[in-house]
Amino acid sequence: MTDHHDTMTAQVQPLPSFLVDRYTDWKSRQFEADRDLYQNLVEHGQHPKAMVISCCDSRVHSMALFGGKAGDFFIHRNIANLIPPFNPDGDNHGTSAAVEYAVTVLKVAHLIVLGHSGCGGINGGFHACDQSDGTPYSGPSPIQHWLGLLKPAFDKLDHSKAEDDRINDLEKLSILVSIENLMGFPFVQDALAEDRLSIHGLWHDIGGGTLYGYDASAKAFQPV
């Protein structure tokens, strides 16, 4: 009888050649140029100064934005760069676990929520919330359940605006709601009270290459 594990792992395929070629190029050029850096990271571990929570979108490249190298940033990516409210209910919470590790173990000094233009997750979540009954994504689909987190931000929109403007506003407003959710994490509250953590909201215009940061005094995103 075929073992169930063997049946499942039989579906695993070798890496495609174009990725092997890219790895080989990286190993021969970039790795060799930074070999000492990697050895230091192995010997002394990681000590990133900042955590970046960004979207899974392949066009978002936070390492490139900040000229980062291995060990510089603790990066967590999810659909639409959302942070759920703190909820220690025993379920799996990958984003919350990543934030906890960054703040309590790595003790990062900066927590960055990075949104971006043309976000498919924000667009999908907007249209799910923009129903007559106001019901967001819900049900058995993981992405449907996840994008339900956008409902509080959606409810804050100026619904007299055109749809495209509201979607653009939601990309930014969802960053602020995620930051509000961060403030509900006890270990984040402790780090802020001890003045060893700062929180930043950023929005990246992919086509223009411009980075905008939230200015609390102006209550608006301003070019960095």
Q: pLDDT by residue (tens digit) across 69-128?
A: 999 999 999 999 999 999 888 677 899 999 999 999 999 999 999 999 999 999 999 998
Structural contact between residues 122 and 151, judged by C-beta atoms closer than 8 angstroms: no
Rounded distance between C-alpha atoms, residue 205 and residue 211, angstroms = 6
Residue 164 pLDDT greater than 80, yes or no: yes
> Is residue 167 very low, low, confident or very high in pLDDT (cuts 50, 70, 90)?
very high
Q: What letter represents residue 197's amino acid?
A: L
Q: Is 141 left (phi over 0), alpha (psi -120 to 50) or beta?
A: beta
Tokens, residue 175: 């960053």
Residue 138 pLDDT greater than 70, yes or no: no
Q: Which residues pair with 198 in a beta bridge?
A: 110
Domains of the chain: 46-223 (3.40.1050.10)
Rounded distance between C-alpha atoms, residue 106 and residue 185, angstroms = 16
Structural contact between residues 149 and 84, judged by C-beta atoms closer than 8 angstroms: yes
Residue 8 pLDDT greater than 90, yes or no: no
Tokens, residue 88: 């220690």
> Is residue 145 very low, low, confident or very high in pLDDT (cuts 50, 70, 90)?
confident
Residue 134 pLDDT greater than 70, yes or no: no
Q: What's the pTM value of the predicted model, to 2 decimals?
A: 0.91
Average pLDDT score over residue span 32-45: 97
Which has the closest alpha carbon to 150: 131, 179, 178? 178
More confident: 141 or 23: 23
Mean pLDDT of the chain: 93
- Residue 7's pLDDT is 78
Is beta strand 110-116 parallel, antiparallel or unpaired with respect to 198-205?
A: parallel
